[in-house]
Amino acid sequence: MTELTHYIDGKHVKGTSGRFADVFNPATGEVQYKVPLASAAELAIAVDVAARVQPQWAAVNPQRRARVMMKFVDLLNRDMDKLAEALSREHGKTIPDAKGDVQRGLEVVEYCIGAPQMLKGEFTDSAGPGIDMYSMRQALGVTAGITPFNFPAMIPMWMFAPAIVCGNAFILKPSERDPSVPLMLAELMEEAGLPKGVLQVVNGDKEAVDAIIEHPVIQSIGFVGSTPIAEYIYGRGCSHGKRVQCFGGAKNHMIIMPDADMDQAADALVGAGYGAAGERCMAISVALPVGEETADRLIEKLVPRIEKLKVGPYTAGDDIDYGPVVTEAAKRNILGLVQSGVDQGAELVVDGRDFTLQGYENGFFVGPHLFDRVTPDMDIYKKEIFGPVLSTVRAGSYEEAINLAIDHEYGNGTAIFTRDGDTARDFANRINIGMVGINVPIPVPLAYHTFGGWKKSVFGDLNQHGPDAFKFYTRTKTITSRWPSGIKEGGEFNFKPMD
């Protein structure tokens, strides 16, 4: 059985803890690799390396740091197929989805090429008599990121690219479920010219996470995952004096108004609800049609589209709509929640519980599910399912629909489909959710804006990528300088006192 490694100080390093996790092929259910789970001592070795090299990297001027990112973009494009294949093999998502994963990370790297502009400070001439005042943005030092399984390329790049271009060293603890692509990204960064040790990959589980939280040299932590773990890392990280941003769960609602283009809305829901097997924090999992007639029309449009979805392994090519979920445990959790919906009285319009795929009976495939007449007290409405399950809640009015989204504990993303500008504007202004789509089903901002939710979907006051990333990965230092001036008389300066 092949054992993966850590990537420390520019080298692949075998794990020494004696603990390993299985990395599955989700399509077959077979174990394809073992990944080492680092001890606190192994994490400390990476931190020591990072602390040694970071001051030298921070001393490199921002333009030269940005050139590393420029080269890295070229290498990502060169190796796109290779990265996508490795990603699909471990995660299970289709090759087009895998390429999209890499591409959205690449776009943040492209944004980071503008670091010289983003890192400029401010200057005030003559703030007082003979006094100038200016600010500068300086790197934090050693930073760390803990990333999830569902975007093993994109989210690591969302974290390490801005951190590194700001002059920090970065330690990445990727998901142990699909760790190969993060290791490949570290290699490509060094090929692009990054000094050894500035970006390191330490694989692990909770022991490595706790070591990151507790290590006094690590200055900041980024995290994406479930809300309970986000709360844990945020609370403990802050108590250890670190700067922390944590992104948690989601339950994204899409309101469908009576005047919406119903074909457009149905297509959007299918793509946003079932793409990547629903394993996306920005997936639409709740449809809110306004009015019984709207709901009936929507269900009529959805059913044939969902029944035509093709589920299979990534090796089947571009003809597949989505692949397996990441683990057998994830599959059991999804089907358990589906059963709870049936038990609690929801109408299961499209039932994917008995889905099987010939030749892949041991794979972690979950058929598509569509519920109708879901109510807010049901588990399938309250909980994040993270699978190919769409719940339809029939709202009697626009006010009822918007209040359902407002009252839910999660606030990651939301959308409305309508032809009415007043309704769309009211929705955008009133909704207490971080990312809003108007006739756009998955409103993920582009790299030069910021990504982040509200409520229990986020812990911390700065978002990912965009301008917030440069704020998160730097500290502002303000300097007040006085250069006394005088009038030269008899070969001497007479300095004027400050007021």
Catalytically annotated residues: 281
CA 145 and chain centroid, separation: 11
* DSSP-assigned states of every residue in 450-467: -B--EETTEESS--BSTH
Closest by CA to 368, choosing from 387, 384, 386, is 387
Largest distance between two CA atoms of the chain: 100
Q: 149, 175 in Cβ contact below 8 A?
A: yes
Does residue 484 come out as left (phi exceeding 0), alpha (psi in the -120 to 50 range) or beta?
beta
Bridge partners, 134 (sequence order): 123, 479
Q: Which helix (H) or strand (E) holds 372?
A: strand 369-372
* DSSP-assigned states of every residue in 407-433: HSSEESEEEEE-S-HHHHHHHHHH---
Query: 328 phi and psi, to 5 degrees?
Result: -60, -35
Query: 459 phi and psi, to 5 degrees?
Result: -135, 115
C-alpha pair distances (Å), 314 with each of 4, 76, 279, 287: 22, 20, 15, 28
Class of residue 50 by CB neighbours under 10 A (exposed 0-12, middle 13-18, buried 19+):
buried
Bridge partners, 482 (sequence order): 131
Provide the b/e sequence for 440-459 (b: ≥16 CB within 10 Å).
bbbbeeebeebbbbebbbbb
Interacting residues of 202 by C-beta distance below 8 A, sequence separation 6+: 6, 8, 38, 42, 43, 46, 171, 172, 173, 208
Closest by CA to 413, choosing from 451, 363, 447, is 451
CA-CA distance, 160 to 383, in Å (whole number)? 30
Closest by CA to 110, choosing from 58, 68, 79, 143, is 68
Q: 413, 435 in Cβ contact below 8 A?
A: yes
Locate 84 and state its tokens. 């996508």
495 SS3 class: strand
Locate 106 and state its tokens. 């690449």
260 SS3 class: coil
271 SS3 class: helix
CA-CA distance, 297 to 260, in Å (whole number)? 11
Locate 52 and state its tokens. 């040694």
Which residue type sits at 222? G
Bridge partners, 322 (sequence order): 311
